[in-house]
């Protein structure tokens, strides 16, 4: 397929016009804040099409993509089997608001992959999944308070849009206008990779804590792996205090391993939140876990949650076809091999050129952190973008490698990194 040549002058005239028009129609010209390039400055290129590991913007510029729609494009963009199946499903109807066999097929696949999930409920986003899992934890335990971690993001539900106040571990305060303080006071904030901060909260609030919700590998403050013993420590603390452990695997599920971080680190949560890859590029989320917990969700139980478009046939079809590809022999060996080629190459460049930076990664998730802070990243980001490398426009977002990235893509990326990193 001919996607047109990459412009040699890195022209963005059409994108600039599109952004000017978008600014008149949408807050900040975008439908999700980070897309506005607020952390790095400048205006975003408007993407016109994507295939495999590449993006093309409205001006014809070509990029090697490490955003991957913020994670779900693990197979690459427009995978032919996924796209064909979605086209066929669309011809049968976009949404029914009624049960379909597709929902059960995808549910069975997920349950087979995740040993901690015995029943599952599909929703429309990661935000919905986390919001619903927390509601279920509260309903099942009869407790109101939850523990989350500073730097971990679980969607924009009121309960979870909370950050730490003063002190190492404290009551949450709203991190967004419009979130009542009365909501935030039930959210306690601990420090990621700091078991002591969690233990102190349990000691202070004893039998009032319903659950601990955590990104088992943090991805919303950049890629930050759990230190040894941290996740097991959370499991032990929750067991000791009869609270539930909720893994937000919206980002890590099917990404760091087929069975997510819980498979990689061998920790069994009570509830798991999924999204991103599960929809194969279409909007979807899910939460699932122990049968006794999931049976408390309506219509069986008293914890209410509903959604007209939940389990819609397009998203279910995309999810089924994506998981069919991911369960093939040695898929993750190939994904991790190409990811390691990239991350080890960047690490070598940093060392050779004596750049004050470090790269952190788990599987195909990675982040290049600059010790000089966001300003250094800003310079690096724009240099990479001009060189045809599309990265998340924030120092504190994870990057993703896909199965569509080739050795040639990685070599071109490393060459551009070597040229660009000196300007940071």
* 42-62 per-position pLDDT tens digit: 999 999 999 999 999 999 999
pLDDT in the model for residue 165: 46
Whether the pLDDT of residue 163 is over 70: the answer is yes
pLDDT in the model for residue 180: 84
| pLDDT (average), residues 332-359 | 97
Q: Integer distance in angstroms from the first to the last C-alpha of the chain? A: 36
Confidence class for position 159, pLDDT limits 50, 70, 90: confident
Annotated catalytic residues are 153, 248, 276
Measure CA 338 to chain center.
20
Whether the pLDDT of residue 7 is over 50: the answer is no
Whether the pLDDT of residue 246 is over 90: the answer is yes
Q: Quick one: CATH architecture of 13-65+331-423?
A: Alpha-Beta Complex (3.90)
Residue 230 tokens, joined = 């941290």
Domain ranges of the chain: 13-65+331-423, 80-326
Beta bridge partners of 55: 50, 63
Whether the pLDDT of residue 168 is over 50: the answer is no
pLDDT in the model for residue 171: 52
pLDDT in the model for residue 172: 59
pLDDT in the model for residue 173: 65
For 213-330, where are the alpha helices, taking DSSP H only? 230-240, 260-265, 291-294, 313-326
pLDDT in the model for residue 166: 37
List C-alpha distances in Å: 186 to 170, 199, 216. Answer: 11, 17, 22
Nearest residue to 193 via CA among 150, 226, 149: 226
**Phi, then psi, of 104 in degrees rounded to 5:** -70, -35
Percent of the chain whose pLDDT exceeds 90: 89
CA 234/CA 148 separation, integer angstroms? 11
List C-alpha distances in Å: 191 to 30, 173, 177. Answer: 31, 15, 23
Whether the pLDDT of residue 167 is over 70: the answer is no
**Extended strands (E) in 138-199:** 145-150, 162-164, 170-174, 187-191
User: What is the CATH class of 80-326?
Assistant: alpha beta
Domains 13-65+331-423 and 80-326 share a fold: no
Whether the pLDDT of residue 239 is over 70: the answer is yes
* 198-233 per-position pLDDT tens digit: 999 999 998 999 999 999 999 999 999 999 999 999
The answer to whether the beta carbons of residues 208 and 125 sit under 8 Å apart is no
| pLDDT (average), residues 31-39 | 93
The answer to whether the beta carbons of residues 146 and 213 sit under 8 Å apart is yes
Percent of the chain whose pLDDT exceeds 70: 95
Q: What average pLDDT does the structure give for the chain?
A: 94
Rounded to two decimals, what is the model's pTM? 0.94
| pLDDT (average), residues 282-305 | 98
Residues in the chain: 424
Contacts of 133 (CB under 8 A, 6+ apart): 211, 213, 246, 271, 272, 273, 287, 289
Q: b vs e for 272-288, b when ≥16 Cβ sit within 10 Å of the residue's Cβ?
A: bbbbbbbbbbbbbbbbb
Q: Give every strand in the sheet of 271-275, ordered side by side.
A: 119-123, 285-289, 271-275, 244-248, 209-214, 145-150, 187-191, 170-174, 162-164
List C-alpha distances in Å: 200 to 137, 173, 369. Answer: 21, 18, 30
């Amino acid at each position: 397929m001919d996607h047109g040549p990459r412009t040699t002058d890195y022209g963005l005239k059409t994108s600039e016009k599109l952004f000017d028009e978008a600014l008149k129609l949408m807050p900040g010209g975008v439908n999700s804040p980070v897309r506005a390039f607020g952390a790095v400055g400048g205006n975003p290129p408007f993407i016109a099409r994507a295939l495999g590991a590449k993006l093309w913007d409205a001006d014809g510029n070509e990029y090697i993509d490490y955003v991957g729609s913020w994670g779900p494009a693990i197979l690459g963009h427009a995978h032919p089997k996924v796209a064909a199946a979605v086209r066929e499903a669309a011809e049968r109807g976009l949404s029914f608001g009624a049960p379909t066999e597709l929902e059960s097929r995808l549910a069975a696949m997920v349950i087979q992959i995740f040993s901690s999930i015995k029943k599952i409920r599909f929703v429309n986003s990661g935000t919905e999944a986390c919001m619903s899992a927390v509601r279920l934890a509260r309903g099942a335990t009869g407790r109101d308070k939850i523990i989350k971690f500073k730097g971990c993001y679980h969607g924009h539900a009121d309960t979870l849009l909370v950050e730490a106040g003063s002190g190492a571990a404290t009551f949450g305060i709203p991190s967004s206008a419009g979130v009542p303080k009365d909501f935030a006071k039930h959210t306690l904030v601990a420090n990621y990779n700091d078991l002591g901060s969690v233990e102190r909260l349990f000691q202070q609030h004893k039998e009032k804590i319903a659950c601990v919700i955590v990104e088992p590998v943090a991805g919303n403050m950049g890629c930050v792996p759990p230190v040894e013993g941290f996740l097991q420590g959370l499991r032990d603390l929750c067991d000791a205090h009869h609270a539930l452990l909720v893994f937000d695997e919206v980002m890590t599920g099917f990404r760091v391993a087929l069975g997510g971080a819980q498979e990689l680190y061998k920790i069994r949560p009570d509830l798991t939140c999924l999204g991103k890859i599960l929809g194969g590029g279409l909007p979807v989320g899910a939460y699932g876990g122990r049968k006794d917990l999931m049976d408390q969700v309506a219509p069986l139980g008293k914890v209410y949650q509903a959604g007209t478009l939940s389990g819609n046939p397009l998203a279910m079809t995309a999810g089924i076809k994506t998981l069919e590809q991911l369960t093939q022999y040695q898929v993750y060996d190939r994904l991790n091999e190409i990811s390691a080629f990239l991350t080890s190459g960047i690490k070598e460049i940093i060392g050779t050129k004596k750049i004050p930076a470090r790269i952190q990664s788990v599987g195909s998730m990675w982040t290049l952190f600059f010790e000089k802070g966001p300003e250094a990243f800003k310079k690096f980001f724009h240099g990479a973008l001009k060189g045809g490398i599309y990265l998340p426009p924030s120092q504190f977002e994870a990057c993703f490698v896909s199965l569509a990235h080739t050795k040639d893509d990685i070599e071109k990326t490393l060459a551009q990194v070597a040229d660009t990193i000196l300007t940071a």
